[in-house]
């Protein structure tokens, strides 16, 4: 992701309480690619981009699938057309 996307990702992660530090892969090159790390220290950090994206996806995934639609018992409103007679 680029710097603007990184800013947006950082904002969303903070809003949702998902841990991670968004920083450039190369601290000397702020225009290069950015990732999500566990700490801000470039010497000891570990890339956690995949974990952060999985946590983000899990936040918006429904916890239980929607149940299958049930058939209604009883009459249903609508039109009934009689079959067409062939002899007319």
Residue partners of 51: CB distance under 8 A and separation at least 6: 20, 36
Q: What pLDDT, in 10s, does the model give residues 46-83?
A: 999 999 989 988 887 766 666 666 666 766 677 777 88
Residue partners of 52: CB distance under 8 A and separation at least 6: 9, 13, 18, 19, 20, 36
User: Mean pLDDT over all residues of the chain?
Assistant: 85
Q: Which of 28, 8, 27, 10 has the alpha carbon at shortest distance from 19?
A: 10
Please tell me whether the overall predicted TM-score, pTM, comes out greater than 0.85 for this model: no
Burial class (CB in 10 A: 0-12, 13-18, 19+), 51: middle
């Amino acid at each position: 992701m680029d710097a603007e996307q990184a800013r947006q990702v950082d904002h969303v992660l903070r809003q949702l309480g998902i841990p991670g530090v968004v920083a450039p892969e190369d601290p000397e090159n702020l225009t290069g690619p950015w990732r999500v790390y566990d700490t801000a220290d470039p010497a000891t950090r570990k890339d956690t981009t995949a974990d952060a994206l999985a946590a983000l996806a899990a936040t918006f995934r429904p916890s239980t699938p929607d149940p299958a639609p049930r058939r209604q018992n009883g009459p249903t409103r609508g039109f009934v057309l009689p079959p067409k007679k062939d002899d007319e």
